[in-house]
Amino acid sequence: MDGSIGTKQTIDLAKAPLRELNQDLHRQTDGSNDKVWEVLNPMGFHSIAVGIDAPIEVEIRGNVGYYCAGMNKKAYVTVHGSAGPGVAENMMSGTVRIKGDASQYAGATGRGGLLVIEGNASSRCGVSMKGIDIVVKGNIGHMSAFMAQSGHLVVLGDAGDALGDSIYEAKLFVRGKVKSLGADCIEKEMRPEHHEALGKLLEKAGITDVKTSEFKRYGSARKLYNFNIDNADAY
């Protein structure tokens, strides 16, 4: 490994094993001196920078494969490229920023933190999200926010088919067109508190050139997951 204690650590995955990188990242704690890590030549490897549990910064210079920054906690991870399926899957806190596009199920089951995708996201973005905030500057694919339980999904572009299918209590904000809404997902009123929450998310994601008034809000009609006594004979 290159670098020294107290300086930026630079790891070239063309020379060093990925397992060694992840082991070093897992050794970091709140009091670690190595606060900034730079990863060169990621070459689409899977599971880069997974399971970090420390307030460190990781800059990945290139494209990554499956599950990059999965289970992230506290760290600020930036991918200077595009990401394969499952980026930031089950993240708990911190920030993950993708400078390019993200493949399917970005931010799946995420429980906290912020995921920013500066390009487009493929299908099932935010599937089963449980508290994560996701901001996508481009478009998202079909079945995004499927069974989304809590958190926010903000899309500056368009959304594909079946947005928010079987959604629970997550809040969805879309600036562009929605091809279709999924089961139990409806358009909802944008009240002052929603404008406020959306404005804070956009600011946190570094987006200052759009207005909250340009977005529509979508959420649960709350008819799918409630027991209806009128339908008791069907159970």
- pLDDT per position as a tens digit, 45-74: 999 999 999 999 999 999 999 999 999 999
Quote the radius of gyration of the chain (alpha carbons, Å).
Answer: 19
- pLDDT per position as a tens digit, 13-49: 999 999 999 999 999 999 888 899 999 999 999 999 9
Q: Which of 118, 99, 213 is nearest to 157 (CA)?
A: 118
pLDDT above 60 (res 184): yes
- Edge to edge, what strands does the sheet with 36-40 contain? 9-12, 36-40, 57-61, 76-79, 95-98, 114-117, 130-136, 150-155, 171-174, 216-220, 185-188
pLDDT above 90 (res 229): no
Name the 3-class secondary structure at 187: strand
Span 209-229, mean pLDDT? 87
**pLDDT-above-70 percentage for the chain:** 92
Query: Residue 216 burial by CB count (10 A; 0-12/13-18/19+): exposed, middle or buried?
Result: middle
Query: How far is 210 from 222, CA to CA, in rounded Å?
Result: 30
pLDDT above 70 (res 233): no
Contacts of 221 (CB under 8 A, 6+ apart): 184, 185, 186
pLDDT above 80 (res 3): no
Query: How far is 86 from 12, CA to CA, in rounded Å?
Result: 23
